[in-house]
Amino acid sequence: MTTFLASQTLLKQPAKLEARLKEIPTSPGVYFMRSASGDILYIGKSKRLRSRVRSYFRNSQKLSDRIAMMVHQVAEIEFIVTDTEAEALALEANLIKKNQPHYNVLLKDDKKYPYLCITWSEKYPRIFITRKRRVGKAKDRYYGPYVDTRLLRYTMYIIQRNFPLRQRRKPLFKNRPCLNYDMGRCPGVCQGLVSPEEYHQVMQKVAMIFQGRTDELVNSLQVQMEKAAEELEFEKAAQLRDRIEALKRLNADQKVSLPDDTVSRDAIALAADDKHCCIQLFQIRAGKLVGRLGFFADAGSGTLGEILQQVLEQHYTRVESVEIPTEIVIQHDLPQAEILTEWLSQQKGRKVSLLVPQRQTKAELIEMVEKNAQYELERTQRISDRNNQALLDLASILDLPELPKRIEGYDISHIQGSNAVASQVVFIDGVSAKQHYRHYKIKDPTVTIGHSDDFASMAEVIQRRFRKYQRNSETNNVDQNYFERDQNFPDLVMIDGGKGQLSAVVKVLEEMNLLHVVKVVSLAKKREEIFLPGESKPLDTEAEQPGVQLLRRVRDESHRFAVSFHRQQRLKSSRRSRLEEIPGLGFQRQKQLLAHFHSIDYIREASLKQIKEVSGIGENLALEIYQYFHPS
């Protein structure tokens, strides 16, 4: 099936490609690159659609590795014509935001920098710090990524001490609020003691802090405080006074004052080498530095001006219009500055200016931003050099023809055969890529409580992981470059264990006719020994070698991920086991009970009347449940 899809790409059909390119107009607009399965690979814009799309397929055109890989998967090209370039930019931004194409991601998902999330998709929004953006919740707002985590956490501390907000994802008690309500930290959302409208008003004030509108919020609270004092509501006035003092203290403690004016502006600059590009964006509101955001990009993504343009486009599509400043100071000229200016002005509702400063204060500001980007680049280079050294050493140890870009680690976790699970972790370029992690529940019927079989469990997991490639390898017309082109195919598989686990994996790979394409090793725990297939003795290595240390990091991460998943399954099993002892209570009724009461303890404390209120629980079954927990 995969070989068939590969044959449907336009590069494999030159006549169809040329005919399709001639159909594309020369007008401004947006183009879509689709795969053979119909997925959108890439969305772009252009002043002249035909010329831009044709450039992807010219042999003379030098494309980045990322875009070249995308072009090899294009099976269809679609387009939407617009009247102007500004309309094309706005349409492109909306389509990218909606569809999230894989190859449109210029900025890397960097786990070092956290975001601040407000879950507007919920009835009572929560606010929390996270390192992962959830694409599926369109209403949720993310601010960041913030470079200074300490200041971000301090800001959260000030907010939580002075604004009554929802503290928990799920309520702690069913019929009463928790201690946070008594302390004034939460308005009692779990019991509906505050209306969603009132709660939203408080959360909107909090959002203003992360939009760089702290001074505006202080002025608003000042007016409310004076009004409350005039109406003799002294307790409310005192609360507002405390919030104002906290926000002023936040300004004094966190912000760096910059001379010149009260104009809202962003300053963006980058530092790059031949591989990495580190971008810093400083947010300045009312002459104060209120936020410092950090981004990463591939240096081969384009010229410095093109990278800055794409970063600005992607960043401002994610923010609300009120967060767009009236002035953006940039380090380099942008290739399409006029289009971006027009689009930002439309979004803002007033004129937005882009300028490259040449002297005085604004030039010094850009120098400061560039200096910070340079420091981050040096830090990135040190990490990259360390990872490259480890990959080089590992390739030398294992006699690999190339550096192992994608390494997968596997481990099994159970307690005497109960709740047996497995983990798959992925390291790309020596760095953990958690978005590719996967866990497995062992399905082997012989693995039961009191009877464990790590060898059979590991063989099952490897068979399930690579079975889609088995179908490809058994076909007569195998594309020899298929495994090299597949980004999800590992360059190295590491098994946590010794010769026994490795032998079980080798056997199943031989049966699948994949042993010649899957490079597999095992790492034993006691002496950190590396075993290769067919070798009775471990490789001659030292535990502190960079390559061995990298394998140890993969092994430790696979063990951690497997153990955490096993604990989850064990907890679920312990919750279910008590309910399974109740006559007539099936699995679906157990789920309904737990969904209603959230825990076994709450079910035990519930009255007969409360149990009857659960959907699907009749009077007789409710009596059985109540008598089980109250046998007297």
Residue-wise pLDDT for 505-535, tens only, equals 999 999 888 888 889 999 987 778 898 998 8
Mean of pLDDT over the chain: 83
pLDDT tens-digit profile of 348-406? 888 999 999 887 778 888 988 999 899 888 888 888 888 889 999 999 999 888 889 89
Q: Is the pLDDT of residue 342 over 50?
A: yes
CATH architecture of 406-569: 2-Layer Sandwich (3.30)
Specify the pLDDT at position 619: 86
Specify the pLDDT at position 72: 86
Specify the pLDDT at position 2: 42
High-pLDDT (> 70) share of the chain, %? 91
pLDDT interval class at 1 (50, 70, 90): very low
pLDDT tens-digit profile of 447-499? 877 788 889 999 999 999 998 887 655 554 445 455 666 678 899 999 998 88
Domain range 2-103, its CATH number among 3.40.1440.10, 3.90.1150.10, 3.90.79.10, 3.40.1520.20: 3.40.1440.10
Show the DSSP H helices in 400-545 as ranges. 454-474, 482-485, 499-511
Distance from C-alpha of 299 to C-alpha of 306, rounded to nearest angstrom: 11
265-380 and 406-569: identical CATH topology: yes
pLDDT tens-digit profile of 215-270? 777 888 888 888 888 888 888 888 888 878 877 766 655 555 555 556 788 999 99
Task: Give CA torsion, residues 453, 459, 461, 465, to 10 deg.
Answer: 180
The CA–CA distances, whole Å, from 598 to 172, 496, 593, 604 equal 9, 36, 8, 11
DSSP E strands, 449-582: 492-496, 520-523, 530-531
Specify the pLDDT at position 426: 93
Report how far Cα 241 is from the mean position of its chain's Cα atoms. 38
Q: Is the pLDDT of residue 610 over 80?
A: yes
Sign of CA dihedral 332, 53, 85, 39: negative
CATH topology of domain 581-629: DNA polymerase; domain 1 (1.10.150)
Number of helices followed by number of strands (H, E) in the chain: 21, 19
High-pLDDT (> 90) share of the chain, %? 19
CATH architecture of 265-380: 2-Layer Sandwich (3.30)
Distance from C-alpha of 217 to C-alpha of 207, rounded to nearest angstrom: 10
pLDDT interval class at 288 (50, 70, 90): confident
The CA–CA distances, whole Å, from 348 to 85, 261, 351 equal 18, 20, 7
> Which residues are registered as beta bridge partners of 76?
34
The CA–CA distances, whole Å, from 511 to 409, 489, 575, 603 equal 21, 18, 40, 50
pLDDT tens-digit profile of 419-449? 899 999 999 888 888 888 999 999 888 887 7
**Once rounded to an integer, what is the mean pLDDT over residues 300-312?**
86
Report how far Cα 472 is from the mean position of its chain's Cα atoms. 31
Specify the pLDDT at position 392: 92
- Residue corresponding to tokens 């798959």: 424
pTM: 0.62
Q: Where are the domains of the chain?
A: 2-103, 265-380, 406-569, 581-629
**Once rounded to an integer, what is the mean pLDDT over residues 586-599?**
82
pLDDT tens-digit profile of 80-91? 888 888 788 878
Distance from C-alpha of 204 to C-alpha of 317, rounded to nearest angstrom: 20
**Once rounded to an integer, what is the mean pLDDT over residues 571-585?**
73
Query: What burial class does residue 362 get, using C-beta atoms within 10 Å of its C-beta: 0-12 exposed, 13-18 middle, 19+ buried?
Result: middle
Distance from C-alpha of 554 to C-alpha of 425, rounded to nearest angstrom: 7
- Phi/psi region, residue 188 (left: phi>0; alpha: psi -120 to 50; beta: rest), is left
